[in-house]
Amino acid sequence: MSLNVESLVESPLAAPRPLRLIDDTGRAAPPDEAGGLTLPDPDTLRSLYRRMVVARRFDVQVTALTRQGRLATYPSALGQEACEIAAVAALGADDWLFPTYRDSIALLTRGVPPEQILASFRGDWHSGYDQNAHRIAAQATPLATQALHAVGLATASKLKRDSTVALTLLGDGATSEGDAHEAFNFAAVWQAPVVFLVQNNQFAISVPLDKQMRCRTIADKAIGYGMPGYFVDGNDVAAMYAVTSAAVENARAGLGPTLIEGLTYRMEAHTNSDDPSRYRDAGDLEIWRRRDPITRLDTYLGEIGVLSDAERADIRAEAEDLAADTRECMTRSAPVDPLELFDHVYATPRAALAEQRAFLAAELAEHAAPSDASTTAGPITAQTGGTR
Amino acid sequence: MTLHDTAPTPLRAPVTLTMAAALNAAIQDAMRDDPTVVLFGEDVGPLGGVFRVTDGLYAEFGESRVSDSPLAESGIVGTAIGMAMYGLRPVVEMQFDAFSYPAFEQIVSHVAKMRNRTRGRVQLPLVIRIPYAGDIGGVEHHSDSSEAYWTATPGLTVVSPSNPADAYSMLREAITSDDPVIFLEPKSRYWAKAELSLPVRTAPMNTAAVLREGTDVTLIAYGPTVKTALATAELAVAEGLSIEVIDLRSLSPFDDETVGASVRKTSRAAVLHEAAQFGGYGAEVAARLTERNFFHLAAPILRITGFDIPYPSPKLEEYFLPTPDRILAALGTWEWN
């Protein structure tokens, strides 16, 4: 008997449609597309709308700063605002967020000031905000590693009988990493109060999702781990919020982890050093522009009469103020102290590091301009401390 | 906070313990003293670990503090990171040295760097126990000496006890340390016995110990090779050679003070390890001792190590491991005057 390989890999299931509450055109989706989800109330939707508009303005501003050469890099989340903002909106103050490098607007939405977000992208330090105060882990660059941290923190919360939930953001490419598999499995086995929100923006830098996996959806993988999985329209913030907040509350109630896939699209390049024209069809960009998460909610809220032009103007003003603040913070000098390099490596002081610190201090003193004695006393700026 | 800051616990009556039992007692006492200490890994629960280091702990502390995890080392270390971020002190086990490699990224990119990348705001007080090195007749992947991978990584504290007293004391200290500790347990020494009055206290874990004083040569060893070094020193007496034996105990940090003082006294040094020579830990020891003590040295510092080959199969490991004879022969290659 010959083995029919095709019959093994072809799924007997039809390609699923993502759950959604508001369709591309800004109208309420029919019940069969909503999968039993309840539309958030108008005040919640207006709040989500406001946060998406502000976040996009920030993202556009930071991309512009990067193109001006003022930041080393910036991975944009333009077009992915519904996933990012829904994730943050679903979390309580005591919950923890485990973001990636692409999730800066989630940080912004959870209250991290622009200057602290940009600290890493302009090269001040690897992570520029207070992780404990915001309950946001340092943005992870190695893929899927942070998902395990989220599972561990959630498990610790469970062991301590706390109500803290962890939510981790992942990309579609990251689901190929072994750590993603281990995180899904550990979370399910331990029934950890954790939510995995995969933003399927369909490209891992240049590699499309069909080169990452053979199954229908990322959400389908949840079945294999024994946890619920939801395939959601990632550009419909109403659906993303409904699913994510339900998953967070289920986790809090002791019902274990949930895997959510938000189907979305990365409207910008991977980073400023990427050229999407080499791997993406320009026509796709137009298709996804018509599915824009902000435009569709704007239409919906306008049509149900809860978003006035005055409020739109108010939100735009808030966004412009934030953009101005963001530009302004880049003009402030950001002193870095080379001697701080040695301060955060170990809790227990080391003689060898003290020696190396003294070496660098002597080198800096020697290089400091003799006529400008003040530079040796105060913090040394990046410019004067640029000796290597 | 280190163990030295805690209130002294009354000494218990002396008992004869293996190193495995001393490690077991250290974890047990740490868990009794601190409810935030949790233990997990592969087979550490009801089985008590493949070397029985966690024997009885599941029965005493229960599933919430002692648990068998899924069989995935990156997952074990990665989740331990999250637990440490939330105020627990996880003690995790990599079942064998070579099985720690799936956790390499979590250890190097996160465990080692978390304090630094968060500018000191997030610390990871966790212990990664790794049964390591050979000389137990193990099949492949069960006898690796992986220390150089960890010592080459800033942010990690790497220690290895060579005897039951240090095993207990250093593990207690590692668990209370606010730095992440790679705790290398020499498998060939698990069954070494000593009479101990627990909770035994030895020198701080970041210091080296002079185990035997000598005047002619400083022989630097750690973990599994300390026993070999002591045996060599004993044999050397008959040859009229006085060997000072140093047990490094801590590989990172390196105790320049203790080792340097010995080398300046004897003017000759050799470093001993099971791991391959090229790029091995002995290269760092030889280089830094030479840099700091060159004008006190009468001869180049020797590295007496495993060959630059993968760890051999059981019938061949005796040819791989440094022996007292091989060490004495190596010391004989120096010009003595």
Question: What does the DSSP 8-state code read for residue B301?
Answer: P
Beta strands A203-204 and A207-208, pairing class: antiparallel
Interface test with B, best of A346, A353, A357 (most B CBs within 10 A): A346
Residues B17, B93 share a domain: yes
Residue B121: list chain A partners with CB under 8 A: 130-132
* Average pLDDT score over residue span B4-10: 57
Question: What does the DSSP 8-state code read for residue A27?
Answer: S
B93-116 tens-digit pLDDT: 999 999 999 999 999 999 999 999
On the 0-12 / 13-18 / 19+ scale of CB atoms within 10 A, B292 is middle
Query: What are the two backbone dihedrals, phi and then psi, of residue A216, each rounded to the nearest 5 degrees?
Result: -65, -50
Residues B46, B158 share a domain: yes
- CA–CA dist B238, B324 (Å, integer): 13
Best CA proximity match to B304, nearest among B329, B267, B287, B337 = B329
The predicted pLDDT at position A171 comes to 97
Q: How many CB atoms lie within 10 A of CB A254?
A: 10
The predicted pLDDT at position A48 comes to 98
Residue B182: inside a domain = yes
Residue A152: list chain B partners with CB under 8 A: 78-86, 90
Q: Active-site residue A129, yes or no?
A: no
- CA–CA dist A30, A32 (Å, integer): 6
The predicted pLDDT at position A14 comes to 77
Query: Which two tokens mark A359?
Result: 């070496």
Q: Name the catalytic one among B4, B110, B141, B142.
A: B142
The predicted pLDDT at position B11 comes to 83
Question: Final residue of a domain: which of B136, B171, B196?
Answer: B196
* Average pLDDT score over residue span A133-150: 98
Residue B152: list chain A partners with CB under 8 A: none
Q: Active-site residue A332, yes or no?
A: no
Residue A166: list chain B partners with CB under 8 A: 82
Residues B162, B83 share a domain: yes
Q: What is the pTM of this model?
A: 0.94
* CATH number of the CATH domain containing B235: 3.40.50.920
What is the share, in percent, of chain B residues with pLDDT greater than 70?
Answer: 97
The predicted pLDDT at position A3 comes to 57
Q: Do B115 and A154 touch (CB under 8 A)?
A: no
Helices (H), A90-196: 104-109, 114-121, 131-134, 145-159, 178-190
Residues B157, B243 share a domain: no
Best CA proximity match to A235, nearest among A29, A62, A74, A13 = A29
The predicted pLDDT at position A378 comes to 41
B28-46 tens-digit pLDDT: 999 999 999 999 999 999 9
What are B307-315's contacts with CB under 8 Å, separation 24+? B307/B276, B307/B277, B308/B276, B308/B277, B308/B278, B309/B276, B310/B140, B311/B134, B311/B140, B311/B143, B311/B144, B311/B145, B313/B139, B313/B140, B314/B137, B314/B138, B314/B139
Residue B5: inside a domain = no
Quick one: pLDDT band at residue B337, thresholds 50, 70, 90?
Answer: confident
Residues B269, B191 share a domain: no
The predicted pLDDT at position A268 comes to 93
* Average pLDDT score over residue span A160-173: 98
Residues B227, B118 share a domain: no
Q: Is the pLDDT of residue A83 over 60?
A: yes
Q: Is the pLDDT of residue A376 over 80?
A: no
Residues B157, B288 share a domain: no
Q: Would you tell me the crossing angle of helices A42-67 and A237-252 to the nearest 10 degrees?
A: 110
Residue A154: list chain B partners with CB under 8 A: 82
Question: Final residue of a domain: which of B168, B196, B224?
Answer: B196
* Average pLDDT score over residue span A131-140: 98
* Residue A305 CB partners (closer than 8 Å, separation 6+): none
Strand runs (DSSP E) across A221-336, as ranges? 229-233, 258-263
Residue B112: inside a domain = yes
Q: Do B79 and A166 touch (CB under 8 A)?
A: no
Query: Which two tokens mark A270?
Result: 């991977």
* Residue B283 CB partners (closer than 8 Å, separation 6+): B277, B303
Residues B185, B253 share a domain: no
Q: Is the pLDDT of residue B3 over 70?
A: no
* Residue A39 CB partners (closer than 8 Å, separation 6+): A21, A22, A28, A45, A238, A242
Residue B67: inside a domain = yes
* CATH number of the CATH domain containing B141: 3.40.50.970
User: What's the per-residue H, E or C state across chain B?
Assistant: CCHHHCCCCCCCCCEEEEHHHHHHHHHHHHHHHCCCEEEEECCCCCCCCCCCCCCCHHHHHCCCCEEECCCCHHHHHHHHHHHHHCCCEEEEECCCHHHHHHHHHHHHHHHCCHHHHCCCCCCCCCEEEEEECCCCCCCCCCCCCCHHHHHCCCCCEEECCCCHHHHHHHHHHHHHCCCCEEEEEEHHHCCCEEEECCCCCCCCCCCCEEEECCCCEEEEECCCHHHHHHHHHHHHHHCCCCEEEEECCEEECCCHHHHHHHHHHHCCEEEEEEEECCCCHHHHHHHHHHHHHHHHCCCCCEEEEECCCCCCCHHHHHHHCCCHHHHHHHHCCCCCC
Query: Which two tokens mark B294?
Result: 């060159």
Q: Is A324 helix (H, G, I), strand (E, B) or coil?
A: helix
Query: Which two tokens mark A142?
Result: 């190695």
Q: What is the number of CB-based contacts under 8 A between chain A and chain B?
A: 142
A379 cis-preceded (ω within 30 degrees of 0): no
* Residue in B65, B114, B122 nearest the CB of A132: B122
* Average pLDDT score over residue span A9-17: 72
Residues B266, B175 share a domain: no
Q: Domain count of chain B?
A: 2
The predicted pLDDT at position A379 comes to 40
- A 45-104 residues inside an 8 A Cβ radius of B: 96
Residues B188, B64 share a domain: yes
Q: Is A71 helix (H, G, I), strand (E, B) or coil?
A: coil
Residue carrying structure tokens 């079942």: B95
Given CB atoms, is A179 within the 8 Å cutoff of chain B?
A: yes
B239-282 tens-digit pLDDT: 999 999 999 999 999 999 999 999 999 999 999 999 999 999 99
The predicted pLDDT at position B157 comes to 98
| Domain residue limits, chain A | 7-331, 338-377
The predicted pLDDT at position B6 comes to 53
- What is the average pLDDT value for chain B, to the nearest integer? 96
- How far from A232 is each of A83, A229, A237, A337, A352, CA to CA, in Å? 10, 10, 10, 46, 53
* Residue B266 CB partners (closer than 8 Å, separation 6+): B214, B215, B216, B217, B218, B244
Best CA proximity match to B156, nearest among B288, B254, B252 = B252
- CA–CA dist A241, A235 (Å, integer): 11
Residue A162 identity: D
Q: Do B254 and A352 touch (CB under 8 A)?
A: yes
Best CA proximity match to A135, nearest among A77, A92, A105 = A92
Residue B202: inside a domain = no
What is the share, in percent, of chain B residues with pLDDT greater than 90?
Answer: 96
| DSSP letter string, A143-163 | TTHHHHHHHHHHHHHHHTT--
| B280 contacts B305 by C-beta, under 8 angstroms | yes
| A346 contacts B157 by C-beta, under 8 angstroms | yes
A238-267 tens-digit pLDDT: 999 999 999 999 999 999 999 999 999 999
Q: Is the pLDDT of residue B316 over 60?
A: yes
Residue B337: inside a domain = no
Residues B295, B253 share a domain: yes
Q: Do B120 and A152 touch (CB under 8 A)?
A: no
Domain residue limits at B281: 209-331
Opening angle at CA B232, ends B226 and B238, nearest 5: 155
The DSSP bridge partners found for residue A183 are: none
Topology of A7-331 in CATH?
Rossmann fold (3.40.50)
Q: How many CB atoms lie within 10 A of CB B142?
A: 20
Query: What are the two backbone dihedrals, phi and then psi, of residue B203, each rounded to the nearest 5 degrees?
Result: -65, 155
Residue B336: inside a domain = no
Opening angle at CA A334, ends A331 and A337, nearest 5: 165
A44-67 tens-digit pLDDT: 999 999 999 999 999 999 999 999
ipTM computed for the complex: 0.95
Handedness of CA A153, A158, A162, A167 (dihedral sign): positive
* Average pLDDT score over residue span A175-189: 98
Q: Name the catalytic one among A67, A279, A289, A290.
A: A279
Q: Is the pLDDT of residue A162 over 90?
A: yes
- A 255-314 residues inside an 8 A Cβ radius of B: none
Q: Is the pLDDT of residue A172 over 80?
A: yes
Question: Final residue of a domain: which of B173, B196, B219?
Answer: B196
Handedness of CA B21, B24, B29, B32 (dihedral sign): negative
- Min distance A53 CA to chain B CA atoms (Å): 29
Given CB atoms, is A381 within the 8 Å cutoff of chain B?
A: no
- CA–CA dist A95, B253 (Å, integer): 36
Residue B284: inside a domain = yes
| A71 contacts A336 by C-beta, under 8 angstroms | no
* Average pLDDT score over residue span A118-123: 94
Q: Is the pLDDT of residue A371 over 60?
A: no
The predicted pLDDT at position A272 comes to 84
* Residue A332 CB partners (closer than 8 Å, separation 6+): A115
The predicted pLDDT at position A273 comes to 86
Residues B110, B40 share a domain: yes
* Average pLDDT score over residue span B6-20: 83
B199 cis-preceded (ω within 30 degrees of 0): yes
